[in-house]
Every structure is written in C-alpha cells, then in structure tokens.
Amino acid sequence: MKISQHAYLQYALHVEIEYEQALDEGRIIAPKLEEEYAQIKALDLWDPQREKLAAGFLDEMEKMAIRVDYPYAEPSDLPGILAAKPSEYNSEAVPVSREKLTDKIYGAWLARCAGCLLGHPIEGWQRERILGLLKETGNLPIRYYISSEIDSSIAEKYGVKNTPGSYGNDSVSWINNVKHMVEDDDMNYTIIGLAIVEQYGFDFTPDDVAEAWLRYLPILRTCTAERIAYRNLLNLMDPPRSASYRNSYREWIGAQIRADLFGYVNPGNPEKAAEMAWRDASISHVKNGIYGEMWVAAMLASAAVTDDLESIVLAGLRQIPEKCRMAEHIVRVMDWKRKGDGFDEAVARIREEYDENNVHHWCHAVSNAMIVAAALLYGEGDLEATLGMAVVPGFDTDCNGATAGSVLGMRNGASALPDKWIAPLNDKIRSGVEGFGIVPLSDLANRTVRLIEQNPYVCMK
C-alpha cells in the first residue's frame, strides 16, 4: 500500500490556515505566538521541527481570547445558537402536501445530483479557466453539462483530460463519461444522512453521527474538517471536542454540504431541520461552519412549502445567529438583488472580499454560502440558470451546484425539471457509503418519503 508522504504531516500543513481562521474569529494573537508563527513559516515543510512546533501552535491559538470589540456573536452550542436567532418569526411547522411530497423529494435528490455533476469535473479550477473553457466551447451561459469531447487544442489549453477520477470513479466526470451520478462527497453525506435517520431515528445524537461515520464511511472518503474530526474520533474524542481539537478547517464548507437529508425529512419545519443539522455539524465544525449546515437544511424544509426564493433564503437565516458573519454576508447578497444590482456585479463583490487563490477563502462556508444565495435569488426558479450561476463564480463548484440544485429541486419538484439535466443520471448514483453501492435515486427518494411519513415533527395535509 502506497501512502502519500503528506499523510505523515498532521499539523505542519495547517499553520497558515489556523492563523487566518483565528483572525476571522476575532482572536487576539499574543506577540509570542506571532513570533512562533513566523518561525514555523520559515521552516521547510518537511522539517520535523515544523511538525512539532505546529502542533503546539494550534493548541495555543485555541486558548487566545476574542477581542472585546469583535462585532459578532457566534456560539457553537445549540442553546446559545437558539438564543442568538432573530427573535421575531413564526416557528410553527407549516403543513406539507402529501400529494406533492414524493415529487418534491425526488426532485431534490435529482437536482442535487445534477448540480454536483455539473461542478464536479471543474472543482478546484479558478474562474478564469472555467470561463475560458465555457466560452470556447459555446457553453456560456451554461446550457448543458461539460464535455471532454471538444477540439483537441481547447482541451490541451484548459487541461481537459480523461484520467481516472476522484473517489475511485473510472474517469473524470465529463458528461460524455457519465452513465449515472458519480461518487462525490457531497452525495455521500446525503446518503449517510439517510442511513443515520433510518437507523437512529429523528432524535439521533452527535454521538450517533460519529458512530455512523466510523461504521459506514471510509476515512479516505472524508476531507478537511471531516478528516480531522474522524481522526479525533478514532483517538476517542467525543463530540463536540472532535470538532475543535487541532481542526483548522472548522469553519469550512464540509458541514454545509451535509445538510440536505435533514431538510428533506422535515418539509415545512425549518426549525427542526436546522436543529437536526446542528447535531450532525457539531461533530466536525464550529460557529459559521455549523451555521452553514443549519441554513441549508432550513431552506430545504421551507422550499417544500413555498415558491418564493427570498422567503426560502430568509427561512434559513432565521435559524442561525442574527449577528454572525454568515448572516451578515447572505443579507448583503439579498440587498444587492433587492436594489437591482446584476448577478455579475454580485459575483464581483464576493470575489473582492474572498480570494480564490487563498484556499481558506476558496473552501470557507461563508464565501460559498454567498454564491449559493446569489444563484438561488438571481436564478429566479429556473434550474438551468441557477446551476450555471452556482458554478461559474468558481470556488467550490460541485458543492455549490449541489446545494443550489437541491433547493430548486425541492421547490420545483421532479416533474418540472428539464429532462436534459436529469436524463444523464439514469436514475442511479454510485456511493462510497457502506451498504449502498450503485442505487436508484428513486429508491433513495422513496426511502426519504417513508421517513417523512414517520416524522412526528411534520404536519401533512
């Protein structure tokens, strides 16, 4: 078994990200730690001393206090989050139509796959490269999935290759290589969410989530915050400590992509959807990393009972702290849309604040939540437009396409989704979750509906 030498670097790779993360959180970095940070950065990545110093640096950074003038209130515990939510809103569950339920749930599964598949082969690409390929292949605005069957000079220019894909997929997921939805972490987590609720019920605990990961999810299927949390769990750290111990990725997008199943099974009840999402997120994330999952789950629960996209985005915001960075930034996107600013202008403003060349910005929950919000609001209910807007800004393309697609699929229902975006899936998905393999999407949707019918927190009509 060949092991990458990066596997031996547990902490040396995380120092710069931890420094930025601490600044984001408003931490006061002591002069001694500033000096230590400079010392660590000056060392070669493979110097054993860097690894040793990095571990201590992460521990000390966690102890640093928050500055008194920090303008945000960002708890990670559920009681704290509930106390920090906007105070004036109706928290009662809205009845959901039994007649439309199957169509909406199937639509959410399908459109989540479609958005993920669109963004999957260009994940990690910078915006200039994405736009260049789309323009030169006549696919901007996006009208269809991205193919590798293009002029050879264009393929060479943009590095379009048919090589083995990520997660053990046979090839990169250009649409001409696809026979069903490919495996991706975005979809693995939706499936494991289904397994969690099926096995542990609607009142599962964070410990149940941790057990399910260890039972069903191979560690090499995890990334960033999830990989760190997984390692902490293996070292017998229980949640929520598993989320914070030496985890520089604690506010990245990982939890935000795990929200969907908890929204699916709580149609009409955003509050319960968000609360279940908290239980899932708290094993690997803190603060805005948690809020991202709660926001998405609540939006999905709302999308089952309303068509108004601004109301859907607001439904998510009402479940997270009013004075947090995520809420502030999503509200900005909403304000731009209300004032009549165009989508391109909104993207330019997002990119002014977040630099795609900075991995901490590229994969952060807040930057990507802004893109999802913009895609939903400016897409105005059209799946094709929404998926394109979720992907063309760059950043985490497959995650944002999946989330925006999921919300639109729930809102519109499967029967209203354009066939050209759905047919290539062939109603199948490949999963890396133990016990699933290649499974019909319609089966996953039907299992989800059966859970909803057992859910005591959902009102049916």
286, 224: one domain:
yes
What pTM was estimated for this model as a whole?
A: 0.96
54, 84: one domain:
no
439, 415: one domain:
yes
58, 90: one domain:
no
With CA atoms as reference, report the closest residue to 297 among 266, 318, 328, 321.
Answer: 266
In a domain, 459, yes or no: no
Say yes or no to pLDDT of 6 above 90: no
41, 107: one domain:
no
Say yes or no to pLDDT of 367 above 80: yes
Say yes or no to pLDDT of 87 above 90: no
Say yes or no to pLDDT of 5 above 70: no
In a domain, 72, yes or no: no
Q: What is the pLDDT of residue 88?
A: 74
Three-state SS sequence of 218-234: CHHHCCHHHHHHHHHHH
Residue 29, Ramachandran bin (φ over 0: left; ψ between -120 and 50: alpha; else beta): beta
Mean predicted confidence (pLDDT) in 64-74: 97
199, 57: one domain:
no
Last residue of a domain, one of 63, 86, 104: 63
Query: Distance of CA 10 to CAs 50, 232, 439, Å?
Result: 11, 12, 35
Mean predicted confidence (pLDDT) in 20-25: 97
In a domain, 195, yes or no: yes
Mean predicted confidence (pLDDT) in 81-85: 97
Render pLDDT for 306-342 as a digit per residue (tens, 0 to 9): 999 999 999 999 999 999 999 999 999 999 999 999 9
Q: What is the pLDDT of residue 169?
A: 86
CB 326 within 8 Å of CB 365: yes
In a domain, 166, yes or no: no
In a domain, 175, yes or no: no
Say yes or no to pLDDT of 156 above 80: yes
Q: What is the pLDDT of residue 9?
A: 61
Q: How many C-beta atoms lie closer than 10 Å to residue 176's C-beta?
A: 14
Q: What is the pLDDT of residue 220?
A: 87
CB 216 within 8 Å of CB 195: yes
82, 52: one domain:
no
337, 377: one domain:
yes
Tokens of 191: 């499936």
In a domain, 297, yes or no: yes
In a domain, 208, yes or no: yes
397, 302: one domain:
yes
Q: What is the pLDDT of residue 2?
A: 34
Task: Identify the CATH number of the domain in which residue 443 sits.
Answer: 1.10.4080.10
27, 86: one domain:
no
Binding-site residues for Mg(2+), please? Answer: 396, 398
Which domain, by its residues, includes 24? 5-63
Say yes or no to pLDDT of 3 above 80: no
13, 115: one domain:
no
83, 43: one domain:
no
Binding-site residues, please? Answer: 396, 398
Render pLDDT for 193-237 as a digit per residue (tens, 0 to 9): 999 999 999 999 999 999 999 999 998 899 999 999 999 999 999
Render pLDDT for 386-423 as a digit per residue (tens, 0 to 9): 999 999 999 999 999 999 999 999 999 999 999 999 99
Mean predicted confidence (pLDDT) in 255-263: 98
Number of domains composing the chain: 2
pLDDT band at 167 (very low <50, low <70, confident <90, very high): confident
In a domain, 221, yes or no: yes
